[in-house]
Amino acid sequence: MHAKPPEALTGDIAEARNGSTDMKRVGAAGFTGTLIEYYDLQIYTTAAALVFAHVFFPQLGKAAATVAAFGTVGVVFVARPLGSIIFGHFGDRLGRKRTLVVTLLMMGISTVLVGLLPTSEQVGILAPVLLIALRVVQGVAAGGEFAGAALLVAENAPSEKRGAWSSLPSLGGAVSNSCAGLTLLVTSLTMNDATFRAWGWRIPFVFSTVLLVVGLYIRMTMRETPVFTKQMNRSGASRFPFVEALKAQPRDMLLGCLVEVPAFAMLYLVVTFVLNYGVNELKLNYTQVLWVSVGSGLVMFLGILATSRLSDRIGRRPVLLMSNGLATIWALALFPILYSGTLAGYATAVIITMLIAGFIFGPVGAFMAELFATRYRYTAVGLCYNAAGIIGGAVPPLIAGRIISAYGTFAFGKVLAAACFVSFLCCILLRETRRASLVADGQ
């Protein structure tokens, strides 16, 4: 065997450095874009729990207004599957990069407009109508965001570190939770509750203009993924990715969707029902609730970081089994702790719930990318992720209050635990994907 000449070695080193630089740029694009889009979703959800009942639905009375405000949160989940089909289609046919630019623009512009909406006192019923319309636009955009961001990173990442790299979009989502809470916290600390409720809540929405410009610049400078480019050169694009995905891997799509349900259930119970309970039932002030929200985002970040890296060592399936098993057990303890009636109980319930959600989200980016073929990967991943969002994110917060008021907290805990246990069983039925190639023949 002959040694390489010095100039060849220099070329190898330069190529490795360029590859490392490109991967960091790709990771930054996946992280930053998702941070921005989910910051937009988080500030909406937080504002809905804190003030939207008073701003957009005051004529309904306290209880009905709260339900209506949470209903606008749920609108996004109805629109997300539509977004996953639309943007999945274009993402699988035209590429990941261009599709992600469009989702970012839609989300950013609609969020800024929410911050500029007139109130019900100013324009009557037109205010909630406009709010819901913008929420639909947000939902459609969100439907195409995570799948594209996850694939942008996964299809560029080295296989032995794909779990760690592919967690960056989820990490962006976790940081967005803290950023949203911190932005609202700073706003609330600089004004009294009445001022915050009157107009202070608008500031974080308008501030997202800055984030939109930054995210757009990052995504415009990205290149298309090599996996998608190779697929296009080899056999072209699928004509109907949605139909092909349903025909080729229906079992994987069903099980892949259900595996993610507990993560969404934990996350959205905290940012809707639990947050509202802290403000309206425990009578915690906005500052206390928002500080806990900031901390919970950081804890979720650590959970994602830990399990994404663990999944590169022992596999995606064992990590998801462990995480969904923990979610099943915690669901039974969550509400007794929350309903202890103290700030400490509230903070404990929020922090541990978000940590477990992070454990589940950690390996999901790599796992979902490895589960499906390239020809329809964007569509399949998007559908699984957003269907899980509807089942886990929209339904539990809406039914929690009714079940708890009728049957008690432990009854709802058992319902939640049953849903998490179904997801645990789905993990058993799915195959391990850690060593799967994203550019295998026929994909």
pLDDT above 70 as % of the chain: 94
Helical axes 316-338 vs 409-429, angle rounded to 10°: 180
DSSP letter assigned to residue 434: T
Who has greater pLDDT, 302 or 279?
302
Angstrom distance (rounded) from CA 84 to CA 139: 10
pLDDT top residue among 238 and 314:
314
Q: 123 in a domain, yes or no?
A: yes
pLDDT digits (tens, 9 = 90+) for 138-173: 889 988 888 888 999 999 999 899 999 999 999 998
Residue 81 pLDDT greater than 90, yes or no:
no
CATH number at residue 420: 1.20.1250.20
DSSP string, 187-235: HHHTS-HHHIIIIITHHHHHHHHHHHHHHHHHHHTPPPPHHHHHHHHHH
Total count of domains within the chain: 1
For residue 84, tell me if it sits in a domain: yes
E strand or H helix at 236, and its extent? none
Element spanning 7, H or E: helix 6-47
AA letter at 60: L
Does the residue 9 lie in any domain? Answer: no
Answer whether residue 402 is part of any domain. yes
Residue 440 lies in a domain: no
Domain extent, residue 319, equals 29-224+249-429
Number of neighbours of residue 63 by Cβ within 10 angstroms: 11
- Cβ contact 43:183 at 8 Å: yes
Mean pLDDT of 76-98: 88
pLDDT in tens, 117-141: 998 888 888 988 898 899 899 889 9
Nearest in space to 165 (alpha carbons), one of 306, 309, 21: 309
Q: How far is CA 282 from the centre of its chain?
A: 28
User: Does 272 reside within a domain?
Assistant: yes
Q: Identify the pLDDT of residue 61.
A: 74
Write down the mean pLDDT value for the chain. 85
pLDDT of residue 21: 57
For position 20, what pLDDT does the model report? 58
The residue-averaged pLDDT of 323-347 equals 92
pLDDT tier for residue 55 given thresholds of 50, 70 and 90:
confident
Q: What is the mean pLDDT of residues 283-296?
A: 85
Q: Quick check: is 162 in a domain? A: yes
For the residues of 389-402, what is the DSSP string, one character each? Answer: IIIIIIHHHHHHHH
Query: Tell me, what DSSP letter sits at residue 372?
Result: S
Residue 442 maps to a domain = no
Q: What letter does residue 238 receive in the DSSP assignment?
A: -
Q: What is the structure's pLDDT at 300?
A: 95
Which whole number is the average pLDDT over 340-359? 93
